[in-house]
Amino acid sequence: MTTTDRILAFITNRFPQAEISDVEDIFSLGYINSLFAMELVMFIEKEFTITIPNDELRIDNFRTAKAMTELVDGLRSAVV
């Protein structure tokens, strides 16, 4: 499973009726509230063994699965 697949699986597991592509804005689709946003951050940190710095906790980094994948990939490459 790719990073994007894992992120989309987490979202669709929480919202089974959701049909989301990797470029759809999950905020505008109405799936995100403040509680789920925190769950998403915690999932990403645990699933990919990374820490998301405060300056990366911007809404644009979490709008789409593609943006989240780019964030994860960027943080992983910074560690190596």
pLDDT at res. 79? 66
pLDDT at res. 18? 82
> Measured on CA atoms in the order 65, 35, 18, 1, is the torsion positive or negative?
positive
Tokens of 78: 């910074």
pLDDT at res. 33? 82
In terms of phi and psi (left: phi > 0; alpha: psi -120 to 50; beta: otherwise), the region of 11 is: alpha
Structural domains for the chain: 3-79 (1.10.1200.10)
pLDDT at res. 80? 60
pLDDT in tens, the chain (80 residues): 999 999 999 999 998 888 899 999 999 988 788 889 999 999 999 999 999 999 999 999 999 999 999 999 999 997 66
Q: Report d(CA 65, CA 32) in Å as an integer.
A: 13
